[in-house]
Chain A
Amino acid sequence: MGERAIAAEARDLTKDFDGKMAVDGVSLSVPEGSITGILGPNGAGKTTSIRMLLGIIDPTSGSRTLLGHDRPLEVARQVGYLPEERGLYPSMPAAEAIAFMGALRGLPIREGRRRALQLLKDAGHEDWAKKPIRTLSKGMAQTVQLLGTIIHEPRLIVLDEPFAGLDALNQQKLEQLIRDQSAAGVTVIFSTHVIAHAERLCERIAIIAEGRAVFEGDVDEARGKLRPIVHLRTRSESGPWQSAFPPSAKKVAGEWRFELPESGPEPLLKALIDGGAGIETLSIERPGLHDAFIAIAGEAAAREMGHVPAPEEAA
């Protein structure tokens, strides 16, 4: 994290709903200007954690700081929020809805109307301005709400499942918008259950499973939880060189796969060459966030997110 200031911080947040712990000790630290992803399956506690962080609901215990304030609503003017369940007034014209969201965050309504038209124009949707929300498609309405989230030029943007309901093209546009905001110095926090988005965008991630934060740190740190994977094909079927493999090594379709031993690649290579294994192909693959997520959150959580097939499906 270096010397960067902290834009948002949660310390041991818990939330008890009707005796059920929806969130059970989530801690999170988001450096200013970073893009941080909150990963976890549905019902893991991502939305509740975000709501507590933003001050929409109070935690049962624990504390949070948003842009240096203990009371998040005091800095609401500097925060933009896109909730998971999008909420817009159906009869409101798109430009007015965007301006209204700005007005809620302290932007004068006239300035809001001007900026709303500009934002729609920049996004290539000038023709939506006077259309009531009810006449727009779900994806279009989501775009309108997203523009309403950034109209007041916030310092921190929190997006809850922002990619849900968007087609591939709009997902790409949203990724670009997040990058642009980050490049402009805005801190971005978003929750998702699609690891690919987090992998492409995030500098830091927090993994929440069953109401607990099971990991919080850099993406590289998460990947570092796993050893690199060795993929090896040899001309020789067997030999003493196999003693350099870890016990978990498996041969699948003629290819050896195993975690790179802690001693590193050199002793392995030496054993293969000296033992006459006859290397056909050898690659050492750095694990992706997907593998790291499975390792950290567990297969059950990954299965809920659709990243690992269920045992019966796999069979």
Chain B
Amino acid sequence: MRLPETFRAAFVIARRDFTATVFSKTFLFFLLGPLFPLLLGVGMVGIGAQVDRNAKAPPVAVISSTEDFELLEAARERLSPLTSTEPLIELRYEAPEEDVAAQRNRLLSDNERPVFGVLDGGLSAPHLTGAVTRGGRTARQIGLFIDEARQIEVRPTVSGPPLRLTATTSTSGLEAFTRSMTARVGQTLLFVLTILLAGMLLSQLIEEKSSKVIEVLAAAVPVDAIFLGKLFAMLGMSLVGIGVWAMLGATVLNLLREGGLATLATPAVGWPAFLILVLVYFSMSYLLIGATFLGIGAQASTVREVQTLSMPVTMGQVVLFGFAAVGVGRPMSTEAIAAAIFPLSSPFAMIARAAEHSALWPHLLALLWQGLWVALILKMASAVFRRSVLKSGKSGRRWWQRKTA
């Protein structure tokens, strides 16, 4: 069959799949899809904060003079901005009794007002007793509080001008940081979308196989055309989705953040080129992974078989994503270059490079390289698809069912 006929038939199938999907109610759910992880994320953060508030560790009792305790509290207050990643130990004042050793033991075993540990000896001879270890969070923080309290005690006020601030729009460090953030976001977006859509493609194929439409198609057009049609229909649909999400994202950003889109860190290649590259690399990544998934889908006849087969491929993709992510922030490192050369991780690695490096020629090279692999993988996956989809070819036995000679 001539090539144009294959493309014509692929277009007929792609048009049907595209319109059937985009004009269906389920497409709305697809468009709303990214909202769910966002809402889930916001919800989890809220729950986490609530849990954090409710699950504060018991305080450390401080048996000391009120002066020493005030110095320790002041030290704790001053250190609090530096320990945002872990909750600060709470301190509770206890007036010293005659027998401090007995008081300490009583406090440590008091179930009504539990304490994590007891600090006594004041700032001159501090002694921490409790469920603590050297280098552990409690011991470390209490040590810092004591050092800081001693500084305050020696130099309660320091004369001199306050810190003068000069705000600049950008620094090289900030730029490198924000660009690496853009690179990571771009990579993650590409990865999640590709996996999501390749999975959807697979489900659609299984549905079609079970509804027997595939035989009607296979009798009328080359199997290659069915393969290409389905692949490109889903690509078209996902590009519509990306377009909608991008517009919504930009609108929300403009509404919620002063300065809107202009406040985002500009990728190294600039926004227009970056957005084009996102679309192109997404297409490449999707075609590479989608073709692999379709080849697998043709081997399977039930959803369970698909799950069994696609799981190792998905895990492989996660590994590739991790491989590409290693090079973020170090675009000239061996890992980043290796990830850019390996075809399946190349789109992820290159989108990160676009965010961090301004040269455009490596993208031209990478796209030619990826295009070559897309053609190769499409050809191979299409052959597998053709041989398996209707038990055509020399044998209908699936590869994992074949006995070794």
Residues in chain A within 8 A of chain B (CB atoms) = 16-18, 51, 54-58, 60, 71, 73-74, 76, 79, 81, 83, 85-92, 100-101, 103-106, 109, 145
Contacts and interface: CB of A to CB of B under 8 A. Distances in A.
B211 A104 contact: no
Given A18-B396, A58-B392, A73 B215 contact: no
Interface in B1-49: 1, 8-9, 12-13, 15-16, 20, 24
B390 A76 contact: no
A83 B217 contact: no
* Closest 10 pairs (CB-CB, A-B): A87-B212, A87-B213, A104-B220, A57-B392, A85-B212, A81-B219, A83-B215, A87-B216, A103-B12, A17-B396
A73 B393 contact: no
A81 B392 contact: no
A58 B211 contact: no
Contacts, number: 80
Contact of A89 (B20, B220, B391): B20
Given A85-B215, A101-B216, A60 B221 contact: no
A51 B214 CA distance: 13
A79 B9 CA distance: 15
A71 B211 contact: no
B222 interface: yes
Contacts of B217: 104
Contact of A73 (B13, B16, B212, B221): B221
Contacts of A106: 8
Nearest to B396: A17
A76 B8 CA distance: 13
Nearest to B392: A57
A18 B392 contact: no
Given A17-B396, A83-B212, A89-B211, A56 B218 contact: yes
A56 B213 CA distance: 13
B394 A60 contact: yes
Given A56-B218, A73-B222, A105-B220, A91 B212 contact: no
Majority SS of interface residues in chain A? loop
Interface in B388-405: 390-397, 401
Contacts of B395: 16-18
Interface string B216-231: 1111111000000000
Given A54-B219, A71-B1, A104-B220, A88 B391 contact: no
Nearest to A160: B215
A185 B15 CA distance: 33
Contact of B220 (A17, A74, A76, A92): A76
A91 B220 CA distance: 21
A60 to B, nearest CB: 7
A51 B223 CA distance: 14
B1 A87 contact: no
Contacts of B390: 51, 56-57
A18 B403 CA distance: 11
Contact of B9 (A55, A74, A89, A104): A104
A92 B20 contact: yes
A83 B390 CA distance: 13
B215 A87 contact: yes
